[in-house]
């Protein structure tokens, strides 16, 4: 019987075979179903990502329960991942109830403090076979309650990345190479030379945050140069909500969630299908 897994093996396989595992941010049962069912149909490993505000909204116990059901009913690996968590206590609580993948985001702190915070999380997480992702550098934009002004965005320094990985023993590293959370004001310009330099100097899986609204060819190029996990959030929320709005405009007297949520699910399914193809994770299991 399959169970919830950490991201360790799936990201290592992606790194070895030069594709990326998509990490989709979900918010409720409907969005969870869309991601898991689509990944199952396409034979893709999948990472279900939740932010602190999603845990507050949906409750971690429910997310774990849904993930256990999903894992039992598919042969493709299913991981649930804590995305952009800043409080160590919240990460520990989530690990205790069954999460096996987490991101501690201390990127706003100076390097030495970032290392100290991440080391504490790694020490706890690895006792439970839970993988740890951390971020070096800052992505501009908004991710739920996390806001980074353009003036505060910082690209990942390759030399610092080497020091950071060695000091913390993390399992994957989120790099800042020019992507942003949310929608872009213009076409993003990614620093692929920086990515290649980082990839050449460290051997753990690399993560691309802020992949929504990034042209497919740029995402594929980032994967070619070493990205093994691609995060997608905004690109899912917009079509879901637009489809629900359209349904209500056409059916103003509607009141059945099973009816008005379905168009949202179908619109989101199309995006999940496309992102899996872009990541190259189709038919890997």
Q: What is the DSSP string of the chain?
A: ------SHHHHHHHHHHT--EEEEE--SHHHHHHHHHHHHHHT--EEEEE-HHHHHHH-HHHHHHHHHHHHHT-SS-EEEEEEEE--HHHHHHHHHHT--EEEE--TTS-HHHHHHHHHHHHHHHGGGT-EEEEEESB-EEEETTEEE-GGG-BPPPHHHHHHHHHHH--SEEEE-SS-EES--SS-----HHHHHHHHHH--S-EEE---TT--HHHHHHHHHTTEEEEEE-HHHHHHHHHHHHHHHHH-TT---HHHHHHHHHHHHHHHHHHHHHHHT-TT--
Confidence category of residue 269, pLDDT binned at 50, 70, 90: very high
pLDDT the model gives residue 151? 44
Q: Any known ligand binding at 149?
A: no
Q: What are phi and psi of 232, to 5 degrees?
A: -135, 125
Torsion of CA 135, 177, 54, 238, to 10 degrees: 180
Could you report the per-residue pLDDT of 2-59, keeping only the tens digit for each? 789 999 999 999 999 999 999 999 999 999 999 999 999 999 999 999 999 999 999 9
27 is in an annotated binding site: no
- Residue 174's pLDDT is what? 96
Q: What percent of the chain lies above the pLDDT cut of 90?
A: 85
Residue 52: per-residue pLDDT: 97
Task: Please check if 231 is assigned to a binding site.
Answer: yes
Give the active site residue among 13, 37, 83, 256: 83
Domain definitions of the chain by residue range: 8-279
Q: What residue has token string 């849904």? A: 66
Q: Give the Cα separation of 15 and 225 in Å (integer).
A: 10
Does the annotation place 14 within a ligand binding site?
Answer: no
Superfamily of domain 8-279, CATH level 4: Aldolase class I (3.20.20.70)
Mean per-residue pLDDT, 177-202: 81
Quote the CA–CA distance of 201 and 265 in Å, as a whole number.
41
> For residues 179 and 142, which has the higher predicted lDDT (pLDDT)?
179
Statement: residue 142 has pLDDT above 90? no
- Looking at every residue in the chain, the average pLDDT score rounds to 92
Q: What is the pLDDT of residue 181?
A: 56
Strand duo 46-50 + 21-25: pairing:
parallel
Mean local confidence (pLDDT), 189-206: 95
Please tell me whether 141 is known to bind a ligand.
no
Alpha-carbon gap, residue 113 to 93, rounded angstroms: 22
Query: Per-residue pLDDT averaged across 54-67, rounded?
Result: 96
Q: How distant, in Å, are the alpha carbons of 111, 155, 237 from that of 180?
A: 21, 11, 16
135 assigned to a ligand binding site: yes
**Per the annotation, does 274 bind a ligand?**
no
Provide the pLDDT confidence category of residue 210 given band limits of 50, 70 and 90. confident
pLDDT at 140: 53
**Known binder of ligand: residue 212?**
yes
Q: Does the annotation place 84 within a ligand binding site?
A: yes
For residue range 80-130, list pLDDT tens digits in order: 999 999 999 999 999 999 999 999 999 989 999 999 999 999 999 999 999
Q: Is 235 annotated as a binding residue?
A: no
Percent pLDDT > 70 in the chain is 92
Beta-sheet pairing, 140-143 with 146-148: antiparallel
Taking alpha carbons only, the member of 93, 91, 164 closest to residue 121 is: 91
Q: How far apart are CA 175 and CA 37, in angstroms?
A: 29
Quick one: pLDDT at residue 167? Answer: 98
Q: Which of 113, 118, 61 is nearest to 88 (CA)?
A: 118
pTM of the model: 0.91
**Is 171 labeled as catalytic in the residue annotation?**
no
- For range 135-144, the mean pLDDT: 66
Q: What angle do CA 124, 159, 137 make, to 5 degrees?
A: 65
- pLDDT at 260 (0 to 100): 97
Read off the tokens for 147. Answer: 């806001």
Residue 149 pLDDT exceeds 70:
no
| Interatomic CA distance for residues 21 and 39, integer angstroms | 11
pLDDT of 183 reads: 52
């Amino acid at each position: 019987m399959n169970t919830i897994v950490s991201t360790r093996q799936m990201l290592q396989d992606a790194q070895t075979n030069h594709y990326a595992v998509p990490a989709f941010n979900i918010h409720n049962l409907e969005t969870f179903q869309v991601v898991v069912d689509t990944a199952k149909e396409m034979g893709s490993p999948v990472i279900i990502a939740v932010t602190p505000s999603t845990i507050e909204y949906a409750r971690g116990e429910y997310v774990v329960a849904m993930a256990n059901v999903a894992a039992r009913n598919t042969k493709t690996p299913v991981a649930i991942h804590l995305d952009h968590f800043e409080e160590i206590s919240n990460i520990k609580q989530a690990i205790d109830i069954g999460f096996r993948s987490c991101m501690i985001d201390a990127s706003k702190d100076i390097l030495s403090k970032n290392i100290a915070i991440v080391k504490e999380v790694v020490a706890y997480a690895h006792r439970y076979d839970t993988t740890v992702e951390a971020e070096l550098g800052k992505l501009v934009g908004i991710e739920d309650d996390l806001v980074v002004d353009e003036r505060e965005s910082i690209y990942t320094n390759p030399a610092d990345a080497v020091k950071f990985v060695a000091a913390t023993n993390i399992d994957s590293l989120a790099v800042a190479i020019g992507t942003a959370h949310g929608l872009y004001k213009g076409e993003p310009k990614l620093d692929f030379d920086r990515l290649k330099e980082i990839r050449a100097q460290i051997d753990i899986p690399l993560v691309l945050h802020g992949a929504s609204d990034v042209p497919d060819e740029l995402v594929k190029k980032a994967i070619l140069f070493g990205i093994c996990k691609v995060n997608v959030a905004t690109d899912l929320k917009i079509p879901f909500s637009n489809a629900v709005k359209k349904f209500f405009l056409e059916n103003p007297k509607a009141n059945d969630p099973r009816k008005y949520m379905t168009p949202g699910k179908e619109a989101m399914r199309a995006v999940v299908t496309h992102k899996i193809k872009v990541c190259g994770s189709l038919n890997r299991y």
